[in-house]
Homo-oligomer: A and B are copies of this chain.
Amino acid sequence: MSSEVTLKHIAEALGVSAMTVSRALNDRPNVDEQTKKKIVEKARSMGYRPNHVAKSLVSNKTYTIGVVIPEITHAFFPEVVRGIEEVTYGSDYQLFLTNANEQFSREMEAIRALQSQRVDGILISSSQTVEDFSFYEELLNSRTKVVFFDRCVENLGASCVSVNDRSSSTRITEHLITTHNIKKISYLSGPQEVSVGRKRYRGFMEALEKHNIPVNDDWVIEAGFREKSGYNAMNKLLALPPEDRPEAVVTVNDPCAIGAIQAIGEAGFSIPDDFAVVGFTDDVRAELLKVPLTTVHQPAYEVGKRAAQKLIKTIEHEEEPAENIEVLTTLKIRESCGCGEE
């Protein structure tokens, strides 16, 4: 039963026209109260469920939003998604979630599929290796509204919600320099094709410059956003002759830091005595590590919320201007930087 009830079925059952049924169910004016009541009742009893597909076809609006995230198991992103949902729940929008698994090709496919689904807008955190800018340019020329979050593609004129990556990176690096008087600092960077990769790297460099610390190229290693890459990068540092090794390691994010920490442990060194390590994210695991990780806390939930709000505004108001929104981080000083536990 109730398998495919349409407006027409209800109309026939009551001897009225489909249009009247449509009007009644959508609270349009010019429908007799009596008729309306009858229709609403009948619709319920027949188990009518409006067909959004048909609705979308005529209105050219789907009330759906696509979300493209690079890595669903990186705890930061589920938290962002919760923030997004906080906004969409209660609005009329539904979420299409896609996971690019850090591959640009999958990201493109996902976006294309979302466009075919005629989503009204897309929230994108870009994957590791962005190669083809023309792809984004085309996307932004289409009817689909776009807001980037966290990993933004810049200079396209789209809105972007991120955290103050650069200055946060500077700040946590300076903590090592000024509080712990460490000068030999290594950086495990993210890919430079990605905005956060670039920004955090710049922030790190800025801290060195500010304190007149020369850069040692051997200590800047392009790693990646995942544990594995942090692990590998750290092993490269450990392969250096002892006297050429840094005293501290600044990493692009917590998973990378956790990988590095594992490598350090396996090599028989200890944290923070042999190497101070700091991260960026404030992953759920950060405070649970044997030596709790000093890191930058990113308000993921807030980022998601802001991004979703901005996107909905952009969808609903043609003139909504593009903007960059920066949500501020906080420093989480724990023990991996050398601060005592108290």
Q: Which residues of B contact A156 (CB under 8 A)?
A: none
Chain B residues with CB below 8 A from A89, complex form: 101, 106
Contact B99 A96 (CB under 8 A): no
Chain B residues with Cβ below 8 Å from A1 are 141
A118 in the interface (beta carbon within 8 A): yes
How many whole Å from A8's CB to the nearest CB in chain B?
14
Q: Mark A81-100, 1 if CB is under 8 A from B, else 0.
A: 11001000100001111110
Residues in chain B near residue A115, CB distance under 8 A: 49
Complex Cα distance A85/B143, Å? 27
Known: A85-B99, A97-B95. A117 touches B72 (CB 8 A): no
Q: A3-B141, A3-B143 are in contact. Are A53 and B56 (CB under 8 A)?
A: yes
* Distance of A334 Cα from B317 Cα, bound (Å): 55
Chain A contributes a number of interface residues (CB within 8 A of B) equal to: 50
* Residue in A50, A138, A143, A285 with the greatest tally of chain B CB atoms within 10 Å: A285
Closest residue to A57 on the B side, CB-wise? B53
Please, which residues of chain B bring their CB within 8 A of the CB of A118? 51-53
Is A272 positioned at the interface, with any CB of B under 8 Å from its CB? no
| CB atoms of B143 and A4 under 8 A apart | yes
Check A11 for interface membership: any CB of B closer than 8 A.
Answer: no
Considering the complex, which residues of chain A in the window 271-294 have a beta carbon less than 8 Å from any beta carbon of chain B? 284-285, 288-290
Q: B82 contacts A72, CB within 8 Å?
A: yes
Find chain B residues with CB under 8 A from A47 CB: 138, 142
Instruction: Give bound CA distance, A112 to B106, whole Å.
Output: 29
User: In whole angstroms, how far apart are the Cα atoms of A114 and B116 in the complex?
Assistant: 18
Q: Are A112 and B289 in contact (CB under 8 A)?
A: no
In the bound complex, what is the Cα–Cα distance between A342 and B50 (angstroms)? Answer: 61
Interchain CB contact (< 8 A) of A98 among B54, B95, B143: B95
Q: Which residue of B lies closest to A288 (CB)?
A: B288
Chain B residue numbers with a CB within 8 Å of A81 are 72, 97, 99
Q: What distance in Å separates the Cβ of A123 from its nearest Cβ neighbour in chain B? A: 12
Give the CA-CA distance A233 to B239 in the complex, in Å: 49
A residues sitting closer than 8 Å to B (CB atoms) are 1-4, 47, 49-54, 56-57, 62, 64, 67, 72-73, 75, 77-79, 81-82, 85, 89, 94-99, 101, 106, 112-118, 138, 141-143, 284-285, 288-290
| 13 residue pairs from A and B, CB less than 8 Å apart | A2-B138, A47-B138, A49-B112, A51-B116, A52-B118, A53-B57, A64-B96, A64-B117, A73-B75, A73-B82, A95-B96, A95-B97, A285-B285
Lowest 10 CB-CB distances: which A-B pairs, in order?
A97-B97, A288-B288, A52-B116, A53-B56, A72-B78, A78-B78, A53-B118, A52-B117, A53-B57, A85-B99
